[in-house]
Amino acid sequence: MFRLLFVLFIIIPIIEIFVLIQVGAVLGVWPTIGMVIFTAWLGAKYVRQQGISTLNSVQTKMAQGQMPSDEIVTALMLLVAGVLLVTPGFVTDFLGLSLLIPAVRHTIAASVMSHISSNNANQQGFQFHSHSHGQSQNQDDFSKQPESPFQENLQPPHEGQTLDGEFERKD
């Protein structure tokens, strides 16, 4: 994580300054500033357009009862693209504009989704840990006499017991 932050906050600005100086030496100061402003405007325009399209896709999938995981990853990449495009410089503009290309986004999204699914496969599922130090308020609540005949079988779970249940969704 430290290496990534180091690259983001130290190396990339140095590269940006170097490229801006080189382009400014070839084109001049005002055309260079104009190009930086133009790429920021163009990128913001396309980020907005594709962001609205992604939001519509998310709403459609959620209305159909599907999980919009691809769209969420796409929206995050569009957010990163927007930040990169607003940051002055040609390198960040190039990276931001490349994230606006759907094929690049889909490749990155597939990589991210496979990484997420492999991390989920490595986890063993749900674990519950209980720590008790003598009698607690919750145990006192469970040890009270039932107030109605329907609560007779309610007892606190003991160490090692598994709670099992089912649910039914009613919309």
Long-range contacts formed by 102-108: CB under 8 A, 24+ apart: 105/74, 105/77, 105/78, 108/77
Asked if the model's pLDDT at residue 78 lies above 70, the reply is yes
How many angstroms separate the Cα of 125 from the Cα of each of 67, 69, 153?
Answer: 20, 20, 28
Mind listing the pLDDT tens digit for each residue in 84-114? 888 888 999 899 989 888 899 888 888 877 8
The predicted pLDDT at position 121 comes to 57
Asked if the model's pLDDT at residue 169 lies above 90, the reply is no
The predicted pLDDT at position 159 comes to 65
Q: Read off the pLDDT of each residue in 121-142 and give the average, rounded to a whole number.
A: 50
Buried/exposed 12-32: b ≥16 CB within 10 Å, e otherwise = beeebeebbeebeeeeeeeeb
DSSP string, 69-84: HHHHHHHHHHHHHHHH
pLDDT band at 160 (very low <50, low <70, confident <90, very high): low
- Quote the pTM value: 0.60
